[in-house]
Amino acid sequence: MDNKPALVFVGFMLIAIIVIVVYLIYTDPFRNMPQHTRNNHFQSPNREALILYSENCATCHGATGEGKDKCPPVRNTRLSEAQIQQLLRNGKGKMPSFSRLDSEQIINISRLVKQF
């Protein structure tokens, strides 16, 4: 009896699974977030806002709003949700405008920022 084709098949499947798992880990937008932040947001409706935040804001304000270099922290900001929405639409100083986002996205991001 020749089991070689079956072994080759199983080998390929194992490699495919490893490749998929590594891909999922490295493309996870929440990879650099602390565990408690992941737990708070991962399953919630904030998921889309969190992706938007990590794509558009985290480079300046840090993964959880802790601030970075010349950008102020957004965690515990004194601005209200409405003021944050206005800031996102208009920009301010070195902060670019995000008017290309639609108003639902802007509202969701401003809510998320107040929860950091």
State yes or no: residue 109 binds ligand HEC (CB under 6 A): yes
How is residue 96 written in tokens? 């670019």
Using CA atoms, how far residue 60 sits from 34, 51, 54, in Å, is 17, 15, 10
| Residue 87 sits in the site that holds ligand HEC (CB under 6 A) | yes
- Calculate the alpha carbon distances from 2 to 5, 6, 8 in Å: 8, 9, 12
Which lies closer to ligand HEC via its Cβ, residue 11 or residue 72?
A: 72
72 binds ligand HEC (CB under 6 A): yes
- Is 37 an interacting residue with respect to ligand HEC (CB under 6 A)? no
Which residues of this chain interact with ligand HEC, rule CB under 6 A? 56-57, 59-61, 71-72, 74, 77-79, 84, 87-88, 92-96, 98, 109, 113
